[in-house]
Chain A
């Protein structure tokens, strides 16, 4: 149980295009999902907290107009990187609270974004 999937696992796009990443909780309902960014050999950087049916809460320094987050259902959250640039290239990971215990987050496998 507590499986989280992400799609796509890898994406390469041209500078200026937009890319959408999906995060799904497969066997549980997640009222809250989290989006992280991870740089090589660095720890996770929380970008935003996504609550079903409401606007996402962004961390300081994260551009909400650049990283659009939608949490339309209890099992799906999406992150859209708009007008992507090479500096947006990174490993993006989502997670969700399982609901079985208050604090445990279960992570998706991540999406490697490369912007040319």
Chain B
């Protein structure tokens, strides 16, 4: 069964303390893995798409990497405004999009 698991469920960091969020997946025929950021009461905001193992993408303090079974979202020297829920989604071979439950990231000043 296709499945996406995000960990940890919640992560509290001090401002400037780098860390990583994990998205593990089992899917038949990966077409793409997506990272989104969601602020409370708002729709998800697109961050990255990764298509194949070994691919990396960066945007400001965020860097997403992909292997054959998981993706990491690395956050370097985070700021309080990086606080949000980060969602991972995987598109399977039949184009179905499977969502993880998200990681709530809190950056304390």
Tell me the smallest distance from the CB of B54 to a CB of chain A, in Å. 18
**8 A Cβ contacts from A94-108 to B:** 95, 101-108
Complex Cα–Cα for A108 and B46 (A) = 11
Chain A residues, Cβ within 8 Å of B44: 44, 93, 95, 107
CB of A43 within 8 A of CB of B87, answer yes
B65 contacts the other chain (CB 8 A): no
Complex Cα–Cα for A102 and B34 (A) = 12
Stretch of B55-63, B69-77, B94-102 with 4 or more beta carbons under 8 angstroms from chain A: B94-102
Minimal Cβ-Cβ distance residue in A for B101: A43
Complex Cα–Cα for A91 and B97 (A) = 19
Tell me the smallest distance from the CB of B44 to a CB of chain A, in Å. 5
Per the CB 8 Å criterion, the residue count for chain B at the interface is 18
Chain B residues, Cβ within 8 Å of A2: 46
Q: When the two chains form the complex, which single residue of A42, A43, A102, A110 contacts B43, counting CB atoms closer than 8 Å?
A: A110
Per the CB 8 Å criterion, the residue count for chain A at the interface is 21
Complex Cα–Cα for A99 and B62 (A) = 25
Q: When the two chains form the complex, which single residue of A44, A107, A109 contacts B46, counting CB atoms closer than 8 Å?
A: A107
Task: Using known A-B contacts A46-B97, A104-B34, determine if residue A109 contacts B43 with beta carbons closer than 8 Å.
Answer: yes
CB of A105 within 8 A of CB of B87, answer no
Residues of A within 8 A of B (CB): 2, 4, 6, 42-44, 46, 91, 93, 95, 101-110, 112
* CB pairs A–B below 8 angstroms (27 shown): A6-B43, A42-B101, A43-B100, A43-B101, A44-B87, A44-B99, A46-B97, A46-B99, A93-B43, A93-B44, A95-B43, A95-B44, A101-B49, A102-B31, A103-B32, A103-B49, A104-B34, A104-B49, A105-B34, A105-B46, A105-B97, A107-B46, A108-B43, A109-B43, A110-B41, A110-B43, A112-B41
Report the 4 A-B pairs with minimum CB-CB distance, sorted nearest first. A107-B43, A103-B32, A43-B101, A43-B99
